[in-house]
Chains A and B, each alone.
Chain A
């Protein structure tokens, strides 16, 4: 009786996070264009947790062109996979942690290798609207307070393991308590005020007029995500930026 669960755990750890079904639902962007106030998001599949360094290490071992030192500057900046013990091994202590120091290109390539893709901003945000009990907790002060608690935790505490923390109503973990996460269309954030230099966010718009015109003024964390995404380039890597994969709803692809 004991043997079966143990075996199952080994299999799960060696492959990838299970995917959960999310949506359909409606997402209300903070800075909606006319006619875009309510975006219908079709149902999709999303990794229950972020991709771990152990999983990403298996990917780069199978795909040497994505190893640190082999990737061209177009595809990742000099921070790519820094902190790993070697180009193919993060080190035991990092295995359960979310992989970070990964570029958009690398995240996309990893998801492709699983016949998956990065979630869109709308998909990610739809998943992020959910609390443990409801699919749309955007107006719930307790939910917002939980999210903000992450922002107030000092960075020196280190990253929590991928998938730690409670699941939301879709079964997704760590959307607001782990790392920042890549979305496929990161480059659509704040595009209408694109007079930035070197990725600095237009502070006057963001803190002043932007906040007033936003659709949900209380959701400070959503401002933070938009600001963060708008500062990214495709080759960017940071110590607290990871990702999880998504897939269109429907039958599993045949291996």
Chain B
């Protein structure tokens, strides 16, 4: 934890300076996403760094950071994304950082496109041949996809612990879809029209590859995944 604090500290500091309300990625906070005016960056940073100095002191490393780092500025870990996973536990979105993440959106009553996405992701995982990749599927149907429905989907597809199928808030879904570039619309019958986007996130949460509809683009994702370094604990 000591080490990860050191690694994350600069990340959090920078994000705190560069974005709107940015709760620390490692904190399991369930705050409404991006609704409050921007927090004081120093306050955010202090809250994030476990061994931060007392009030009034500058957070460590603050002055050594390159301002507006392009990679961190693109990080999806800047998002406040309250998640409840298929086991019913609140998950901190930032816990997935530190290694490759395959990210997409589904909903459990989806009969065609979503099983296809799951199957494509399985193919990517098996062809990548590495065990440090996490998959995050956020439901676009937070109203109906409770943990039981998410667990049933995981069971149905035989998904292990490296898969997080999660419910967020309505606002979290909107932000997540905006960040991934997923276009979606709920239909009167409860189904969704949606584009099938799979994004590969690097250790810092920047999009390393993005595919719409996978299929022919699957190889690009696998190739990009092969270039990402192993997950750091």
**A179-213 vs B, Cβ < 8 Å mask (1 yes, 0 no):** 00000110111111011000000000000000000
Are A194 and B74 in contact, with the CB atoms below 8 A?
Answer: no
Is A233 positioned at the interface, with any CB of B under 8 Å from its CB? yes
Contact of A70 among B68, B183, B188 (CB under 8 A): B68
Q: Which residue of B lies closest to A197 (CB)?
A: B212
Are A112 and B188 in contact, with the CB atoms below 8 A?
Answer: no
Are A63 and B70 in contact, with the CB atoms below 8 A?
Answer: no
**A204-244 vs B, Cβ < 8 Å mask (1 yes, 0 no):** 00000000000000000000000000100110000000000
Q: How many A-B residue pairs have CB under 8 A?
A: 101
Contacts of B78 in A (CB 8 A): 72, 74-75
B114 to chain A: closest CB distance in Å?
A: 15
Is B17 positioned at the interface, with any CB of A under 8 Å from its CB? yes
Contacts of A188 in B (CB 8 A): 183-185
How far does the alpha carbon of A69 sit from the alpha carbon of B66 in the complex, in Å?
Answer: 13
Is B231 positioned at the interface, with any CB of A under 8 Å from its CB? no
Contacts of B193 in A (CB 8 A): 33, 191-192
Q: Which residue of B lies closest to A230 (CB)?
A: B183
A245 to chain B: closest CB distance in Å?
A: 13
**B186-197 vs A, Cβ < 8 Å mask (1 yes, 0 no):** 011100011100
Given contacts A184-B174, A188-B184, A194-B183, contact A65 B195 (CB under 8 A): no
How far does the alpha carbon of A72 sit from the alpha carbon of B11 in the complex, in Å?
Answer: 13
A13-21, A101-109, A140-148: which lies at the interface: A101-109
Highest count of chain A CB atoms <10 Å: which of B72, B178, B213: B178
Contact of B18 among A72, A185, A195 (CB under 8 A): A72
Contact of B74 among A72, A189, A233 (CB under 8 A): A72
Contacts of B183 in A (CB 8 A): 187-191, 194, 230
How far does the alpha carbon of A33 sit from the alpha carbon of B212 in the complex, in Å?
Answer: 23
Q: Which residue of A lies closest to B14 (CB)?
A: A72
Are B18 and A33 in contact, with the CB atoms below 8 A?
Answer: no
**A72-90 vs B, Cβ < 8 Å mask (1 yes, 0 no):** 1111000000000000000
Are A72 and B177 in contact, with the CB atoms below 8 A?
Answer: no
Are A72 and B37 in contact, with the CB atoms below 8 A?
Answer: no
B69 to chain A: closest CB distance in Å?
A: 9
How far does the alpha carbon of A36 sit from the alpha carbon of B191 in the complex, in Å?
Answer: 13
A139 to chain B: closest CB distance in Å?
A: 24
Are A112 and B34 in contact, with the CB atoms below 8 A?
Answer: yes
Contacts of A108 in B (CB 8 A): 34
**A25-44 vs B, Cβ < 8 Å mask (1 yes, 0 no):** 00000000111100000000
- The secondary structure that dominates the A interface is loop
A46 to chain B: closest CB distance in Å?
A: 19
**B125-156 vs A, Cβ < 8 Å mask (1 yes, 0 no):** 00000000000000000000000000000000
Is A66 positioned at the interface, with any CB of B under 8 Å from its CB? yes
Is A134 positioned at the interface, with any CB of B under 8 Å from its CB? no
Is B75 positioned at the interface, with any CB of A under 8 Å from its CB? yes
A217 to chain B: closest CB distance in Å?
A: 22
How far does the alpha carbon of A159 sit from the alpha carbon of B70 in the complex, in Å?
Answer: 32
Is A164 positioned at the interface, with any CB of B under 8 Å from its CB? no
Residues B1-53 near A (CB distance < 8 A)? 15, 17-20, 34-38, 41
Contacts of A35 in B (CB 8 A): 187-189
Are B36 and A73 in contact, with the CB atoms below 8 A?
Answer: no
Is B182 positioned at the interface, with any CB of A under 8 Å from its CB? yes
How far does the alpha carbon of A174 sit from the alpha carbon of B143 in the complex, in Å?
Answer: 36
Q: Which residue of A lies closest to B77 (CB)?
A: A74
Are B178 and A112 in contact, with the CB atoms below 8 A?
Answer: no
Given contacts A64-B38, A74-B78, A194-B212, contact A233 B181 (CB under 8 A): yes
Are B179 and A74 in contact, with the CB atoms below 8 A?
Answer: yes
A72 to chain B: closest CB distance in Å?
A: 3
How far does the alpha carbon of A65 sit from the alpha carbon of B16 in the complex, in Å?
Answer: 8
7 A-B contacts (beta carbon < 8 Å): A34-B187, A34-B188, A36-B188, A62-B37, A64-B41, A65-B17, A233-B178
> Footprint of A on B, CB under 8 Å?
15, 17-20, 34-38, 41, 68, 70, 72-76, 78-79, 174, 177-179, 181-185, 187-189, 193-195, 212-213
Besides A71-B19, A191-B195, 5 more A-B contacts (Cβ < 8 Å) are A72-B78, A105-B20, A109-B20, A194-B212, A233-B178
